[in-house]
Amino acid sequence: MISSAPWLRSSESLVATAIGLAAAIGFYLQIGREVHIETQVVCIVAVSSLVLIVTGLSYRVSGRSQSIGCTTIGVGLLMLFTTTLSIVNYLTLPLQVAPYDEFLVRIDALIGFHWPSVMEVASRYPVFCHILGLVYQSTMCQLAILVTILGLSGRVLELDRLLLTFAVSAVGVVAFWSAFPSLGTMAYYELDAGIVARIAPVVGPDYGLALKELYASGPDRIDPWQSLGLIAFPSFHTVLALMTISFARSVKWLFPFALALNLLMMPAVVIHGGHHLFDVFGGIVMFFLSRGVADMFIARFSLKGRRRLGAAANASFFVES
């Protein structure tokens, strides 16, 4: 284990600290602003998360089940972290710099990618597009399932790596976007209504218009359950897809399903997420940087973690028993 403390493990403590810092930043950003945050929703998430965390601690401290303890604490922390960071992301608006979408469109053009043309071709295959839409909306569900499987099967090192990679990447994505914002293709292009009707994209033209309005004027109301995804580059859906593939490798029976599903995530991100192709490349880079930071942290605090990470790096296919 990373920590022998009876309460929170080192990885969990880091995520909990990140939650506290994000909450403090959120309070600071809200000072002097007339932004209504749906406190009832926030309280429901907070109470649910704390119930999971306290339940996990009771299993851990009593010695009844370390695996159940790690699982429920992990799920609780992820719920609280995502909600808190989502609110902070909204409170950074409005930003005083113009979106960098035109630059991203130029980069896409340099590599021969034209998003409207891709959407026109995709619209010829509505059934496939429908499947991609379901895949696109499955990311957080996949993550919750993976956390549960890793925790209950005792793969605690992989659970630690997942939690830290998620936290580092989420903070990194929000920080980068706040400095170099982009809104995505739906806020930049106008698609033919027939193409939109055949694809039925998750992120559609109305979504793009709402993003532009939100970016320009900032939010007057924040509901974490109904918030729009703001970030185009780097693509966080790509980060989550690679995260699922990477950490599902330790579960032999799960890995083929995770790989197949999340390879479909790459076209789904472009077609249903309203992303530039370069957003996907940004997500790939962000994932590997974040996983590297997470592994450095684990190696710093755990001799056992260093040995097992070394074994994983040398193995062509890493499977924990």
Query: What gap in Å lies between CA 40 and CA 290, rounded to an integer?
Result: 33
pLDDT of residue 307: 56
Query: Residue 82's pLDDT is what?
Result: 95
The span from the CA of 8 to the CA of 25, in Å, is: 23
pLDDT of residue 316: 32
User: What letter represents residue 220's amino acid?
Assistant: D
Helix (H, G, I), strand (E, B), or coil: what is residue 224?
coil
What is the reported pLDDT for 310? Answer: 52
What is the predicted pLDDT for the residue at 18? 95
- The closest of 166, 180, 289 to 233, measured between CA atoms, is 180
* CA–CA separation, 321 and 318 (whole Å): 10
- Contact yes or no for 209/229 (Cβ under 8 A): no
Rounded to 5 degrees, φ, ψ at 37 are -100, 130
Residue 96 neighbours by CB under 8 Å, 6+ apart: none
Task: Identify the pLDDT of residue 302.
Answer: 61
Low-confidence residues of the chain, pLDDT below 50? 1-5, 305, 309, 312-321
Q: Where are the alpha helices (DSSP H) in the chain?
A: 10-30, 39-62, 66-91, 101-110, 115-122, 126-136, 139-152, 156-179, 193-199, 205-217, 236-248, 255-263, 265-272, 277-301, 303-314
User: Which residue type, as a one-letter code, is found at position 54?
Assistant: V
Transcribe 135-196 into DSSP letters.
Answer: HHTTHHHHHHHHHHHHHHTT-HHHHHHHHHHHHHHHHHHHHHHHHS----GGGT----HHHH
CB 74 within 8 A of CB 163: yes
Span 203-260, pLDDT tens digits: 999 988 999 998 989 888 898 877 778 899 999 999 999 999 999 999 999 999 999 9
pLDDT in tens, 88-107: 999 999 988 899 999 999 99
201 neighbors 186 (Cβ within 8 angstroms): yes
